[in-house]
Amino acid sequence: MTCDHPINRRTFLGRSVGVVLVATVGVLKNSLAWATAGTRDQFIRLVGKTFGGSRPSFEVLGRIYIRSLPGKPDPRSIADTMLANTPSLSNAVLNEDREELRRIIVNAVKKDFTDGKIVAVEGYMLSQTEVALCQLFVLSN
């Protein structure tokens, strides 16, 4: 059997490299999703360790806020949003650096107030970051 359109070496190599690149991107994408999920879960645990014991009001305000929502929030979505909005959080989480995590969160809270990202919960004015932390604390315990 003969081929009407023989393939030359350049075309063959170009297509081979293309197939390898597509396969590599697929593997990397799955690895990134796994790493992100691991960082998210580690972040949720670290938030509880860092803020939970010293802030019992987190649980109270978190429960009140969650009751005001139409549905139950997903802690993974909350954590993913926080990690995406504040990329430096990932490094603090990966290094298990609770002091750095605290510093980043404090700065995020200040920025929320400066930007007007404020939520009223039972008469308390909280930043969106604080509300997210309250929810994470309740949903992860």
pLDDT tens-place string over residues 75-134: 889 988 888 888 888 888 888 888 998 899 999 999 999 999 999 999 989 999 999 988
More confident residue, 78 or 17: 78
**Residue 47's pLDDT is what?**
78
**Residue 37's pLDDT is what?**
67
Q: Would you say 40 and 82 are in contact if contact means Cβ atoms under 8 Å apart? A: no
**Residue 52's pLDDT is what?**
63
Instruction: Please give the model's pTM, rounded to 2 decimal places.
Output: 0.68
Lookup result for tokens 């995406």: 84
User: What's the DSSP call for residue 123?
Assistant: T
Highest mean pLDDT among 12-21, 47-56, 89-98, 102-111: 102-111
Query: H-helix or E-strand containing 117?
Result: none
**Residue 38's pLDDT is what?**
76
Q: How far is CA 6 from CA 2, 20, 78, in A?
A: 9, 22, 55
Task: Locate 108 and state its tokens.
Answer: 């995020």
Report the mean per-residue pLDDT for the chain. Answer: 76
What angle is formed at CA 115 by the lines to CA 112 and CA 44, rounded to 5 degrees? 20
